[in-house]
């Protein structure tokens, strides 16, 4: 079985682009707080998702529906409706994070394939085993905090498939548990589906071409004229510490693990995930087709390096924690 | 239709006198009305953000645009650069980059990372506009041809000539800049200007 390429779609046209570019599966979400990419102008209405699933299925691709925020007390109906609708539309899998939502989906739709979102941040055999045992989860999307040897060791101990991120925005915190955005704006990917919500982001140009990015009351960065920029997230901010201005947590950079696909296969990984539901169809077209070529090349015993730096945050790439060179 | 465009228009274009906005206004109004007819889903996807006034600033042109992509009362008006205009969200960048982004050929975030595109004001509205346009599959050439109706053939012929001309002009301008840079270096000056020295030639309105 070859590696499955799981690709992002923020809009119906991106989904069609991903399928046409060779995605084995596409993940997407409804236009509300039930999915962790709840940005303005993105996501799918019920009718759009129905049409998108038909489009993908006609071409042999799967559609995975992300319902991966944490349901709020008293508003559970929104998440339950999303589960019911996605299941009735024929979604190939639901990507869930919340225990209550997983429980509802498993009881109400026992035949529905369930994946565990990276937002659940399950990274130990015990945690993953719980979701497999209690809800019949078939696949877990691993947090981007595990090294390649750790992923191999984990796969040897669990009874479900694993999916790892191979390209795109690099979340350096434990997903689902990061409170930085919430601290700065009151809104988070975990509860509202938005990290650094654009309603709280402001950019301004200074004389001389300097660009200042702000999130709420915090200055995230000041980019010199012509200096490559990154997203306005606190984890990629440049701050003054110990008398120096530096990226305290992480540089603006994107993950690109295209040279590690063979190692992921050997480590027992089933699926490769490309990040970027908030990106354009131009990004989807380029990244998906390059990675599909790399997956096919791997199968035929060839190597296929691809540099996608021009599409990367800060136009820089990294293999992140997979090859951890620090402690 | 994929267009082969230079990185930015030659500098002289921005220094040309702006055509009288009054003459252009009906043309652009027709353009956005046509887009509403052909892409209603884009306006629907924009929702409440369609009522914002967007400043579209092609930094290499002598004109700027105010757009309100409101399904009820769409508006697209050209203005002379420097003219006082009211806006809530702004997108600035070289015209070829703006066209590539609208046509779905280049990624908006990548253009932001590379600093080709600058956004200001209501970030949420800009994001909504970008996502809605990206989904709609707008092709500005087709939109303009639809606007021209029977005269679309003339545009196609002009385009065939104009694109190579613009590319040639950009190459000449680039070579001239490089030659000027070499002369400058020979004179012993070191100001750190590289290949990117041409960016940001014009300021905003």
> Closest to A40 (Cβ–Cβ): which among B104, B113, B127?
B127
Residues of the domain holding A302: 4-170+253-323
Contact A10, A279 (CB under 8 A): yes
Q: Which residues contact A52 (CB under 8 A, 6 or more apart)?
A: A9, A12, A15, A16, A26, A28, A44, A63
Classify residue A69: in a domain, yes or no: yes
Confidence of residue B139 (pLDDT cuts 50, 70, 90): confident
Disruptive mutation site among A12, A31, A32, A41 for chain B (greatest number of B CBs within 10 Å): A41
Confidence of residue B201 (pLDDT cuts 50, 70, 90): very low
> What whole-number distance in Å separates Cα of residue B153 and Cα of residue A64?
44
Confidence of residue B153 (pLDDT cuts 50, 70, 90): low
Please answer yes or no on whether B113 and A280 come within 8 Å at the CB atom. no
Chain B closest-CA separation from residue A116 CA (Å) = 27
Residue B194 has pLDDT above 50, yes or no: no
Chain A closest-CA separation from residue B27 CA (Å) = 27
- Are residues A35 and A54 located together in one domain of the fold? yes
Classify residue A33: in a domain, yes or no: yes
Confidence of residue B163 (pLDDT cuts 50, 70, 90): low
In what helix (H) or strand (E) does residue A294 lie, and over which residues does it extend? helix A281-299
What is the CB-side half-sphere exposure of residue B45 using CA atoms within 13 A? 29
- Are residues A51 and A132 located together in one domain of the fold? yes
pLDDT at A109: 98
Residue A161 pairs in a beta bridge with A139
- Are residues A272 and A163 located together in one domain of the fold? yes
Look at chain A and report how many structural domains it folds into. Answer: 2
> What whole-number distance in Å separates Cα of residue A184 and Cα of residue A196?
8
Q: Which residue has the higher pLDDT, A61 or B182?
A: A61
- Are residues A45 and A154 located together in one domain of the fold? yes
Residue B173 has pLDDT above 80, yes or no: no
Q: Which residues of A touch B112 (CB under 8 A)?
A: 229
Kindly state the average pLDDT of the residues A149-168: 97
- Are residues A133 and A52 located together in one domain of the fold? yes
Whether residue A99 lies within 8 A of chain B, CB to CB, comes out as no
Classify residue A207: in a domain, yes or no: yes
Residue A306 has pLDDT above 80, yes or no: no
pLDDT at B142: 82
Contact A87, A109 (CB under 8 A): yes
- Are residues A94 and A160 located together in one domain of the fold? yes
Kindly state the average pLDDT of the residues B47-64: 95
DSSP B197: G
Instruction: Please write the tens of the pLDDT for every residue from A259-286.
Output: 999 999 999 999 999 999 999 999 999 9
Q: Which of A227, A247, A267 is the last residue of a domain?
A: A247
pLDDT at B162: 63
pLDDT at B155: 60
Classify residue A175: in a domain, yes or no: no
Burial class (CB in 10 A: 0-12, 13-18, 19+), A228: middle
pLDDT, chain B, mean = 79
> What whole-number distance in Å separates Cα of residue B92 and Cα of residue B61?
11
Q: Would the CA dihedral through A171, A142, B109, A45 be positive or negative?
A: negative
Chain A closest-CA separation from residue B113 CA (Å) = 4
- Are residues A126 and A155 located together in one domain of the fold? yes
pLDDT at A1: 52
Please answer yes or no on whether B135 and A14 come within 8 Å at the CB atom. yes
Q: Which residues contact B180 (CB under 8 A, 6 or more apart)?
A: none
For residue B82, CA distances in Å to A99, A229, A253, B10, B63 come to 56, 28, 37, 20, 9
- Are residues A205 and A310 located together in one domain of the fold? no
- Are residues A272 and A213 located together in one domain of the fold? no
> What whole-number distance in Å separates Cα of residue B175 and Cα of residue B163?
18
Please answer yes or no on whether A40 and B115 come within 8 Å at the CB atom. no
Classify residue A80: in a domain, yes or no: yes
Domain of A161, CATH number, reads: 3.20.20.70
Q: Which of A217, A247, A277 is the last residue of a domain?
A: A247
Q: Which of A247, A269, A285 is the last residue of a domain?
A: A247
> What whole-number distance in Å separates Cα of residue A316 and Cα of residue A310?
8
Classify residue A217: in a domain, yes or no: yes
Tokens of B122: 């209501």
Confidence of residue B188 (pLDDT cuts 50, 70, 90): very low
Beta carbons within 10 angstroms of residue A199's beta carbon: 16
Disruptive mutation site among B123, B125, B139, B193 for chain A (greatest number of A CBs within 10 Å): B123
Helix axes A99-108, A76-89, angle to 10 degrees: 40
Q: Would the CA dihedral through A288, A39, A165, A115 be positive or negative?
A: negative
> What whole-number distance in Å separates Cα of residue A122 and Cα of residue A143?
7
- Are residues A267 and A243 located together in one domain of the fold? no
Classify residue A297: in a domain, yes or no: yes
Cα–Cα nearest to B47, from A15, A39, A61, A49? A39
Q: ipTM value of the model?
A: 0.91
- Are residues A123 and A229 located together in one domain of the fold? no
> What whole-number distance in Å separates Cα of residue A23 and Cα of residue A31?
22
Classify residue A36: in a domain, yes or no: yes
């Amino acid at each position: 079985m070859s590696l499955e390429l799981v690709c992002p779609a923020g809009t119906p046209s991106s989904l069609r682009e991903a399928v046409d570019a060779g995605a084995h599966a596409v993940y997407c979400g409804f236009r509300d707080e039930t999915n962790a990419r709840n940005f303005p102008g993105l996501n799918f209405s019920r009718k759009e998702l129905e049409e998108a699933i038909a489009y993908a299925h006609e071409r042999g691709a799967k559609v995975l529906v992300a319902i991966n925020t944490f349901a709020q007390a008293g508003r559970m109906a929104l998440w339950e409706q999303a589960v019911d609708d996605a299941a009735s539309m024929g979604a190939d899998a639901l990507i869930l994070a919340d225990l209550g939502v997983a429980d509802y989906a498993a009881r109400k739709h026992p035949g529905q394939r369930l994946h565990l979102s990276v937002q659940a941040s399950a990274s130990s055999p015990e945690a993953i085993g719980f979701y497999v045992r209690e809800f019949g989860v078939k696949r877990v999307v691993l947090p981007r905090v595990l090294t390649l040897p750790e992923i191999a060791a984990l796969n040897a101990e669990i009874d479900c498939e694993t999916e790892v991120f191979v390209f795109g925005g690099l979340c350096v915190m434990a997903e689902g548990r990061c409170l930085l955005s919430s601290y700065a704006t009151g809104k988070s990917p975990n509860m509202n589906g938005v990290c650094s919500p654009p309603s709280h982001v402001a950019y301004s140009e200074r004389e001389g071409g300097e660009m200042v990015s702000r999130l709420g009351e915090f200055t995230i960065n000041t980019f010199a004229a012509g200096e490559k920029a990154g997203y306005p997230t606190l984890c990629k901010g440049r701050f003054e510490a110990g008398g120096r201005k530096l990226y305290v947590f992480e540089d603006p950079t994107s993950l690109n693990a295209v040279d590690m696909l063979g190692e992921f296969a050997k480590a027992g990984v089933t699926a490769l995930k490309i990040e970027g539901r908030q990106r354009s169809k131009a990004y989807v077209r380029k990244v998906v087709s390059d990675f599909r070529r790399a997956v096919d090349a791997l199968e035929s015993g060839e190597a296929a390096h691809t540099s996608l730096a021009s599409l990367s945050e800060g136009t820089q790439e990294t293999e992140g924690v997979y090859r951890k060179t620090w402690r | 239709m994929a267009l082969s465009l230079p990185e930015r228009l030659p500098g002289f274009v921005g220094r040309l006198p702006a055509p009288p906005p009054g003459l252009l206004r009906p043309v652009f109004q027709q353009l956005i009305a046509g887009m509403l007819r052909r892409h209603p889903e884009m306006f629907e996807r924009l929702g409440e953000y369609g009522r914002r006034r967007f400043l579209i600033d092609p930094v290499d042109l002598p004109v700027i645009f105010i757009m309100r992509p409101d399904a009820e009362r769409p508006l697209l008006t050209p203005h002379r650069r420097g003219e006082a205009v009211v806006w809530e969200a702004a997108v600035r960048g070289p015209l070829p980059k703006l066209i590539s982004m609208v046509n779905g050929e280049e990624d908006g975030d990548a253009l932001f990372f590379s600093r080709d595109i600058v956004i200001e004001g209501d970030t949420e509205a800009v994001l909504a506009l970008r996502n809605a346009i990206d989904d709609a599959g707008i092709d500005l050439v087709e939109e303009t041809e639809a606007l021209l109706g029977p005269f679309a053939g003339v545009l196609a012929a002009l385009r065939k000539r104009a694109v190579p001309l613009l590319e040639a002009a950009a190459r000449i301008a680039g070579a001239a800049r490089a030659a000027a840079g070499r002369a400058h270096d020979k004179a012993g000056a070191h100001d750190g200007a590289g290949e990117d020295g041409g960016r940001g030639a014009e300021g905003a309105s």
